[in-house]
Amino acid sequence: MSHRVLVADDDNVTLDVLRAILDLDEFEVETAADGTEALERARTVRFDVVVLDVMMPGLNGFEVCRALKDDPATASVPVVLLTARDREEDRAEGIAAGCDAYLTKPFSPLHLIEVLSELGLDRSGT
């Protein structure tokens, strides 16, 4: 059984790249185009991890992360923030929001897979 991943980013190219990377590593990928859609989907479908851009229309990634971590139904779902925002203040805000990992763009696909593995998600789906 593969792991189910929700990827939220308002850039279609980034969504396509992330889908391709994760598909190759046998993850089941669903996408959302903004923070509001991501939060709604994460609350209705059980995902094994949520990967969020920070700068999105509607709710930003920090807000979505905070809402997921504050909700007992989704608090245990790992959240990875994947963003171009790389200042220390941004990282601090991500940590304060409860993210499990903070990666900056441009990113290494191998590093993303390593981070997911460190969060307990691997190819075997266990």
pLDDT in tens, 85-110: 999 999 999 999 999 999 999 999 99
Taking the C-alpha atoms of residue 77 and residue 41, their distance in angstroms, rounded to an integer, is 13
pTM: 0.94
Half-sphere exposure of 45 (CA within 13 A, CB side): 20
Taking the C-alpha atoms of residue 121 and residue 126, their distance in angstroms, rounded to an integer, is 7
Q: To the nearest whole number, what is the mean pLDDT of the chain?
A: 93
pLDDT tens digits, 53-85: 999 999 999 999 999 999 999 999 999 999 999
Give the residue, 59 or 121, on which the prediction is more confident. 59
Residues forming a β-bridge with 58: none
